[in-house]
Structure 1
Amino acid sequence: MDTEKVETVNDVDLVEYQEKEFLAAEPDLTAEEKKLEKRLVLKADILIVGMTALVFLVNQWDRGNIGNARVMGLQKDLNISNAQFYDAVSLYYVGYVLCIIPANLSIRFFKAHRQIGGCVIIFATLSCCMAAAKNAAAILALRILFGFASTFLQALTLYTSLWYKRNELAIRSGVFYSAATIAGGFSGLMAYAIQKNLDGALGHAAWQWLFIIQGCAGIFVGISSWLLLPPPPDQIKDLKHWIFSKAELEVAIKRLKTYNKAGAGFDKRQMLVAFKDPKLYCCSFMNAGVALGLASISAFLPSFIQQFDFSPTRTQLFSIIPYACAFVTLLVVNIASDRTNIKGPFMMLCFSFSIAGYIILMVVNNVKVKIFGTCLITMGIFPCVTLLGAWTSINVGGFTKRAMTWGVAEVVGQCFAIMASHIYTDPPRYLKGHSICLAFQILGFFSALFMWFHMRHLNGKKEEEAANHQAAGTVHPMSHQSLEEAYDYHPDFRYIL
């Protein structure tokens, strides 16, 4: 692209400039449309954020309940060795990695409500099937299938970017991903209640009841998602929907055009463009640290806490505390990042929390201080998940380029999540696992720092080019293009730092 070419402004240029396909500013809404926008956002928050929060809650339940089940006797009852258990944890991510990029690109093809609802029904059914497993082989097979199904939830990041503006994403992502922290804490509380009251009921062990109850809840949420969630606004046929009026959907499409091109879909040219962008590699390095920490917390938190010499029931109770801390931090950080329109510094702050937490777990022996260190890790890791997804989505132009950037980052992240299941093999202090996680938290911190400086530099160059064109009375040659043509290199596009 020839960014130095100069075009002189004439009457035709001015008309085209006013009708260019990418609107860098807020959508031009009338007073009536602004009222409609408030109703639209309120309805979207209730329906989309509410349903998505439930989806994340049941996914985190079913994804992490193998850690609780281990404490409840799964490993002993099925004669599963430590190595086989670690394989069961890691095979989830094998299935995940294989499908992640197609899952990001398919949201336009399958329609959001079908893809999200369908995959929830499938993985929740597989969770129920875990209760019937009789040996390690069955557990291993079900875990890899569970990973395949769960992958398709990752398109939620792209889906929400089609309903919300750039300065609205982090708050919404924080709200629905906070459900994951609630799930982690509530899963511990539920496991405690099941262990105490249902162990042996109807001939089933406590860990079997855990899979059955959480799986059935997931099936209900999956069916609800299929029936209730709307497609992206530009894919709703005839602009008719049971909760949104036609006028509200017209406003939604106007909002969508400030960052997307209506009807945009797969474009193979953007795949190569994505790999030429340094942001893809920065996001991948950051996600390596995030996914490694998240996977270790999801699968091994009960095991960490049990090493503090707690009984199984007290272990389940104490596992609630780190998730409660993460829940509060997740909401505070995401709300603050959207209100200030800042992402990078908050990412670095959260990485700093998790770095401090891993150091504490490695060097301190006091149980109370170790619990504090564990809380610091969850307070850092969980906000990073939503911040990174939002920071990536709002700074990559072009539907396919955005999908590829986030998809590759997720592939890299989940490869490191596989590693998480094989590094925590040296109880009781788990020094090897903690030190590896620490190293990748540090890598994530410096990747965020580099990406922040890189995008700040690009914003400065665009400001300088805009000033030069204004002084010369010219229009940038790429000004009339959409983000599907110019990507985030568009002269009016500004990166959110």
Structure 2
Amino acid sequence: MGVASEHNNIDLIGGSSRPSDDDGPAPPLNVDEAALIRKIDIRVMPMLFAIYFVAFLDRVNISNALTMSMPDDLNLYGDRENVALLIFYIPYIIFEIPSNIVMKKLKPHIWLSGCIIAFGIVMLGQAFVKSYSGLIATRFFLGLAECGIFPGSFYLISFWYKRAEAQKRFTMYWSSVIFAGAFGGLLASAIAKMDGMRGLENWRWIFLLEGIASILVGIAALFFCADFPQQASWLSEDEKAAVIAKTRNYEEDDIPVTKSDLFECSKDIKMYLGAFMYFCIVIPIYAFSYFAPTIIKAMGYGTIQTQLHSVPPFAAAIGLCILTAYLSDRWGIRYPFILLGDLLIIIGLALMLTMHGTEHFSAEYLGVCFITMGAFSSGAIIVCWVLMNMHGHKERSIGSGFVIGIGNAGGIVAVFCFTKDDAPLYKHGYWILMGVTLAGIVITALYGLVVARERRRQLRAEDKANSEKVLSL
């Protein structure tokens, strides 16, 4: 009873519905685990970080461009800005599961590099659009090109690390998003001074330069992006066996995903709770990724000062993500850190709703920082928690695409949180974020309870099997 109770507490706050990774087979004796982890970290993480850094930078750089002359140049009146942000998510959501299946067939280094090169080419096209319809077309193809990068990368990472190692690596990858938000503001403040250079408006230079960077990263990824452990030519056979043993991923990588696999996954309640848990955190993430410059500009800043003041909230978010990742892996828990992030969002929203005017600037700006810190830190832990409760190529290819696809539908809500007719106080948007954050707290609690219930059932089954084994002896 004492052992079961201990397991239940662990699972309720962030464990798995399956046995711990530490229960798995020991790695081969002639493999140095610490050296192997360092080798994997060097070969797997930096390239994935670079890929998503430029992808997310290119996705949200429109938020910086909208504070320049882009709305006037492209006649973006009314809700046209919001619709331009929305159109990205239609192909991005629809094709995430198919993209994971294709990546498994083609190998990650081919698929991910192709996605980011295509993304960069479309971004170059966006630099030269002349109308609203041209912007809509490029945003659609950007969503199509990027649909495979985020879920595909998380899918890939989950095969390289066991649960006790995963949060730090997921957070490292997730931090590329936050670095992109911070760096985007710095870069935009410099590019803002390029207005008129070679006959191009400054906002066009944002898309042009970042599109070129994406293509270069894509070419590098073709040579340096890692594949799945079974396909890694840079590992010895013993090292491959060690990775597969500790992560408990014994499926052959050439087993196809079938309709029955989709049906089996569709019956798992954890899949739906995980998707809606992620959905609720994605809304504040994207709302502030897209509109932080707009919100800060409404405080009375000019273009360059707006870009510079959009950097500190993301810098603070990076610090909190690193701290929570370290503590989460060290203590083996997830749930309390998700709640910590939700609490920061609620405090930040309360400040934004009640503090206005120059005399309350510091409090209002602190609210922006709290919301950004809470949203990004919770998001990293949610994705890790959900994906590490999935096992094997089939479940993770379907599950990661489903959870991240449904979750990213929150981006559709996010792009309409802050509209021109609600400026400059944006109370409507803040109340939307407050509502989804509170809903996220409830869904997170339900997910934890379901995981704990499954773990209790599994422990009872294991105890019964052990008792029968003893009796048979």
* TM-score relative to the length of structure 2: 0.90
Q: Check conservation: 1:291, 1:416, Cα contact below 8 A.
A: yes
Partner of 1:482: none
**SS where residue 300 of structure 2 aligns?**
coil
Partner of 1:78: 74
**2: CA distance between counterparts of 1:244 and 1:402?**
23
Q: Check conservation: 1:469, 1:475, Cα contact below 8 A.
A: no
Greater Cα shift, 324-333 or 459-468: 459-468
Partner of 1:415: 409
Partner of 2:385: 391
Partner of 1:268: 259
Q: 2:89 aligns with which of 86, 93, 96?
A: 93
Per-residue deviation, 1:23: 7.7
Q: How do 1:79-478 residues align onto structure 2 when only pairs under 5 Å count?
A: 79-153=75-149, 154-196=151-193, 198-236=194-232, 241=233, 243-256=234-247, 258-263=248-253, 264-365=255-356, 366-425=360-419, 426-473=422-469
Per-residue deviation, 1:132: 0.5
**1: CA distance between counterparts of 2:259 and 2:41?**
33
**SS where residue 416 of structure 2 aligns?**
helix
Per-residue deviation, 1:54: 0.8
Greater Cα shift, 305-314 or 282-291: 282-291
C-alpha spacing 1:159/1:346, structure 2 compared with 1 (3 Å) = same
Q: Which amino acid aligns with 1:184?
A: G
Which structure 1 residue ranges, 4+ long, deviate > 3 Å from structure 2? 243-247, 253-256
Per-residue deviation, 1:265: 4.3
Q: Deviations 1:354-403 (Å, cap 9, x if unpaired)?
A: 12222221122221111111111111111222212211111123432333
C-alpha spacing 1:265/1:393, structure 2 compared with 1 (3 Å) = farther
**SS where residue 72 of structure 1 aligns?**
coil
Show structure 2 runs of 5+ residues with no match.
1-19
Greater Cα shift, 467-476 or 306-315: 467-476
Q: Deviations 1:455-491 (Å, cap 9, x if unpaired)?
A: 1222222222322332332699xxxxxxxxxxxxxxx
Q: Check conservation: 2:352, 2:430, Cα contact below 8 A.
A: yes
**1: CA distance between counterparts of 2:471 and 2:456?**
18
Q: Which amino acid aligns with 1:428?
A: P
* TM-score relative to the length of structure 1: 0.85
C-alpha spacing 1:332/1:23, structure 2 compared with 1 (3 Å) = closer
**2: CA distance between counterparts of 1:189 and 1:337?**
31
Aligned residues: 446
**2: CA distance between counterparts of 1:193 and 1:159?**
35
Percent same amino acid among aligned pairs?
Answer: 27
Q: Check conservation: 1:270, 1:398, Cα contact below 8 A.
A: no
CA RMSD of aligned residues (A): 2.0
Q: Which amino acid aligns with 2:218?
A: G
Q: Check conservation: 2:189, 2:308, Cα contact below 8 A.
A: yes
Per-residue deviation, 1:172: 0.5
Greater Cα shift, 40-49 or 428-437: 40-49
**SS where residue 399 of structure 1 aligns?**
helix
**SS where residue 163 of structure 2 aligns?**
coil
Q: 2:25 aligns with which of 27, 44, 47?
A: 27
Q: Deviations 1:432-458 (Å, cap 9, x if unpaired)?
A: 111112111111111111111221222
C-alpha spacing 1:380/1:114, structure 2 compared with 1 (3 Å) = same
**SS where residue 473 of structure 1 aligns?**
helix
Q: Which amino acid aligns with 1:137?
A: S
Per-residue deviation, 1:405: 2.9
Show structure 1 runs of 5+ residues with no match.
1-21, 477-497
**2: CA distance between counterparts of 1:326 and 1:412?**
24
Matched, 1:64 2:60: yes
